[in-house]
Amino acid sequence: MHVALIMDGNGRWAAARGLPRIMGHRTGAQAVRRVVEAAPGLGIRHLTLYAFSSDNWTRPPREVAALMRLFRSYLASETARMVQNGVRLRVIGRRDRLAGVLRSAIEASEAATAGGETLDLRLAIDYSARDAFCRAAARWASEQEPTREEITRCLAEANHCARVPEVDLLVRTGGEQRLSDFLLWECAYAELLFTPCMWPDFGAAELEAAVREFHMRERRFGGLPQAAAG
C-alpha cells in the first residue's frame, strides 16, 4: 500500500496558539516520526510526505531558512532511528536549489538507510509534479509517443529515485481540499481524503482512521461496481 500525505496546517496550528509559525513546523516534525513509526503496522509499505513544494520558495526568507535548518535537524536526529527500524529514506524533487550542506545530509541519510526493507519513505522537498513532468519530457529524446510505463520510468529518474507503485491513498491535513501540484501522475486513481486535523495533531490514530476509511471504499479504476458488473 502506498500512502501520500500533504502535511498542511503547521502555521495555522501555531497561530491559533499564539506561537511563531516555525514552532508549528517543529511540532509537525514530531508528527512525522509518529506517522513513520505507525505506517508499517497498518500495512503501508510506501509512504510519501510533501514537506516543501517548489512554490514554497515564495514564503518569507526567514521562514524558508528555518525550514531548511529543520530538514537538516530531522535528518541528523532521525537517520539512526530509521536504520534501526528498517526505514529507507529517499528525497524526491529538485536538489540544485538546496544548500550544499543539506544536499550532503540528504545523500548521507539515503546511503545510511539504503538497506531498509520495512518502509520506503519518500520525502518531497522542492517538489513540483509539473516540473517533474517537464524533466521527464526532457529525458524522452524520441519522436515516438512514450508509453505510460516509459513516462513513469522517466518521472522516477527525474525525481532521483527508483520507481514505486502508484498512490493508493492521498491524505491532506489542515482542511484544504486540493492537490497543490503533488504526485499528479501517481495519484491518477488514488483515493482522496481531506481532514480538518492540523498536521501537528496528526498521529497513529488519525493514520489508522484514514487507512480504515480507505478499505471501506470500492476502487473501480474506471470499471463498474462489483454489483453492477455481476
The Cβ-side half-sphere exposure at 204, using a 13 Å CA radius, reads: 10
What distance in Å separates the CA atoms of residue 170 and residue 167, rounded to the nearest whole number? 7
The grid coordinates listed for 182 are 503533488
SS3 of residue 222 by DSSP: coil
What distance in Å separates the CA atoms of residue 73 and residue 78, rounded to the nearest whole number? 8
What distance in Å separates the CA atoms of residue 45 and residue 193, rounded to the nearest whole number? 19
Between vectors from CA 205 to CA 178 and to CA 199, what angle results, nearest 5°?
40
Closest CA to 122 of 189, 46, 218, 184: 46
For 159, residues 6+ apart whose C-beta sits below 8 A from its C-beta are 92, 93, 127, 132
For residues 98 and 68, the answer to whether their CB atoms sit within 8 Å is yes
Whether 159 sits among the annotated catalytic residues: the reply is no
DSSP string, 163-193: --PPPSEEEE-SS----TTSSTTTTTT-EEE
Whether 56 sits among the annotated catalytic residues: the reply is yes
Kindly list the catalytic residues: 8, 56
